[in-house]
A and B are shown apart, each in its own frame.
Chain A
Amino acid sequence: MNPVYYLYLAALLFTIGGAGVLIRRNAIVVFMCIELMLNACNLAFVTFSRMHGNLDGQIIAFFTMVVAAAEVVVGLAIIVSIFRTRHTASVDDASLMKL
């Protein structure tokens, strides 16, 4: 099977994730979309690793997963605390950081 298809799939997943981040308002959904983009990248890394015949891409994928796990912890904590104070999870409502 031609590995290029995996790249197409990765691009498709990344686009879906990116569009979700830009369009959706619910912080949880935005967060899930970010995870989708990260995993699309992982897929691309693994595919390139296969195509080039070395392990660099796979190692980077592991790094990504570790970082993503840490990010999920912090990110979810922030979302929960925002929800507790503002009773909403919409990212558009949390717009205090402006001049």
Chain B
Amino acid sequence: MENLIALLVAAPLVGAALLLCGGSRLDRAGHWIGSLFAVASFAIGAALFADMLGKSPEHRALHQHLYSWIPVGGFRADVAFQLDQLSMTFVLLITGVGSLIHIYSIGYMAHDDRRRRFFGYLNLFLAAMLLLVLADNYLLLYVGWEGVGLASYLLIGFWQHKPSAATAAKKAFLVNRVGDMGLSIAIMLMFTTFGTFAFGPVLASTGATSQGRLTAIGLLLLLAACGKSAQVPLQSWLGDAMEGPTPVSALIHAATMVTAGVYLITRSGAVFNAAPDAQAAVVAVGAVTLLFGAIVGCAKDDIKKALAGSTMSQIGYMIMAAGLGPIGYAFAIMHLVTHGFFKAGLFLGAGSVMHGMNDEVDMRRYGGLRRYMPVTFVTFGLGYLAIIGFPGLSGFFSKDKIIEAAFAKGGTEGWILGGAALLGAAITAFYMTRVMLMTFFGEKRWDPEEVHPHESPKVMTIPMIVLALGSVFAGALFSVNENFVRWLEPVTSFAHGHSPLSATAVTSATMVVLIIGVGIAWAMYGRRPVPATAPRGSLLTRAARRDLLQDDFNHVVLVRGGEHLTRTLVYLDHSVVDGAVNGTAATMGGLSGRLRQLQSGFVRSYAVQMLGGAAVLVAATLLMRGV
């Protein structure tokens, strides 16, 4: 079976190569080819999953050594894959949601004349993402990590004729670069510390390594995760990334790529378990981001940007859970999977709404759409109920577990984290209800003369229905008998947290904040008509509309700071470095100009010099003898 692992990556890679190199003769079939390879990859993944289920939990991990990539002396880099329960979860999520989104894109991109290229990029993304989660060492993981960054860049800027899309792509690329630098330095540090970067030896030998080294590696991995997963302080690119086509936002910037940071931290769990300081930093980043994203999501009128704020916030939950150690890893991944379902579903729903509304994204120009788009309304609604944690749906199970684990952290820290998670849940309920009410309920705020809202074609609605089913049932399926936790336990290890609050108390508290959040949103957007132009709003609202001033902060601190730094450096270069060099050159030039005068070319002046020299020698000799 292990020989199939490489095929998982190869299938979409072949698809990408075909579509990107095939030229325009593939234009008419490009979308079918791309979807076929995505589905093929999913089929292989499903076969491997069925095989894995048949084995005992300890023997489920598969390895495939493909070839030695860079064997130089003591340095050894292999192209080798590892398929364990954690990777398997990701493989199914990536290829499953990926296939659905490929199919959805057939309809969504139907009128785009560069559709073949779009599918080529999507295939490329799948291949890179699968490489990322299947690699058995950090260096190969880094290849996938860069690959998804490239695919993300290409797809955000897919409509490159729009300057805003081109800029957003560049921004995402640059911000990601900061995180990638963290990962590359972490890998180098691993190599100097452990002499290898294969997962097995590195993670097994954390016990015998100095605390300082591990903390440094942990913090660098966290930096990498912050970049890829849009966590504070590297979060600024995600909102702009919504410039890309909506299927891209659903696949890359909601369900899969942005969760790579959670994968990295969970995979490197042994490092973080042995470095409590790095772990504390992870938890802090997660807690701050879950509130940050939620607040931003409350103020956005652009439906995709509101969902982007929500993504940031939900990934904040996962990162926080991953930072809690063995009591949280499994729940982080569980929330990641359920989030993959409902957030991809929500984005596809948003795309369907935009499809029917002439690409309008401003929710203040929606309203009352439930009558015009019943399927979209129901699937979006189920995704909405799942994300706010409505009892019985996916989000309820996974988010509840994270909140419980946060309280179980213990001490003041536990209360702070649990409180933040609860507050986040309330804000989530608020902003998602707001999106729901502004889009599907209330008065029409669009012009019936110009816009003719209609339901999307079947090729788009069927993936939405499948994802909605996942949003409804996945959580319950995972939680029965602690199925998911026991599935992941051999990889991530698991410890039951001891919460100061009983599970019932946490659940009731979650329900109370959920009702409060929904209630406030209903009072603000359901009972009263929504104004078609945004009111001025409070100071916080205005700040949140500007993404809590993250871009202004970056501009003042990094852009201006960088400019000042470079100007100072240029000045120093001109005055000090050039001054020294040019000064030396000028001095030598002047001196040699003087010396040149001696070389007159007149034989007789040379003769005088020789005579003078001889006279000096004689005089010196006489003087020496005299002494």
Residues of A within 8 A of B (CB): 18, 21-23, 25, 30, 91-92, 94-99
Contact = CB atoms under 8 A, between A and B. Distances in A.
Contacts of B604: 21-23, 25, 91-92
Interface residues of B, number: 10
Contacts of A30: 603
Given A21-B607, A91-B603, 14 more contacts: A18-B611, A21-B604, A22-B604, A22-B611, A25-B604, A91-B604, A92-B603, A92-B604, A94-B603, A95-B600, A95-B601, A95-B602, A97-B601, A99-B596
Return the 6 tightest CB-CB contacts between A and B, nearest first: A98-B601, A95-B601, A91-B603, A99-B596, A98-B599, A21-B607
B72 interface: no
A25 B600 CA distance: 16
B622 interface: no
Contact of B608 (A22, A97, A99): A22
26 contacts: A18-B611, A21-B604, A21-B607, A22-B604, A22-B607, A22-B608, A22-B611, A25-B604, A30-B603, A91-B602, A91-B603, A91-B604, A92-B602, A92-B603, A92-B604, A94-B603, A95-B600, A95-B601, A95-B602, A95-B603, A97-B599, A97-B601, A98-B599, A98-B601, A99-B596, A99-B599
A7 B608 CA distance: 23
A25 B603 CA distance: 10
A30 B611 CA distance: 15
B600 to A, nearest CB: 6
Contact of B600 (A21, A94, A98): A98
B496 to A, nearest CB: 90
A21 B603 CA distance: 9
A96 B601 contact: yes
B221 to A, nearest CB: 65
A62 B600 CA distance: 35
Interface in B584-627: 596, 599-604, 607-608, 611
Interface in B411-461: none
Contacts of A25: 604
Nearest to B592: A99
B590 to A, nearest CB: 15
A99 B596 CA distance: 7
A22 B615 CA distance: 15
A22 B604 CA distance: 5
A94 B601 CA distance: 8
Nearest to A92: B602
A11 B60 CA distance: 111
A63 B602 CA distance: 30
Contacts of A98: 599-601
Contacts of A22: 604, 607-608, 611
Nearest to B600: A98
A23 B607 CA distance: 10
A99 B604 CA distance: 17
B622 to A, nearest CB: 15
Contacts of A18: 611
A99 to B, nearest CB: 5
A78 to B, nearest CB: 11
A19 B599 CA distance: 21
A43 to B, nearest CB: 18
A16 to B, nearest CB: 14
A23 to B, nearest CB: 8
A95 B604 CA distance: 10
B213 to A, nearest CB: 62
Nearest to B614: A18
A75 to B, nearest CB: 12
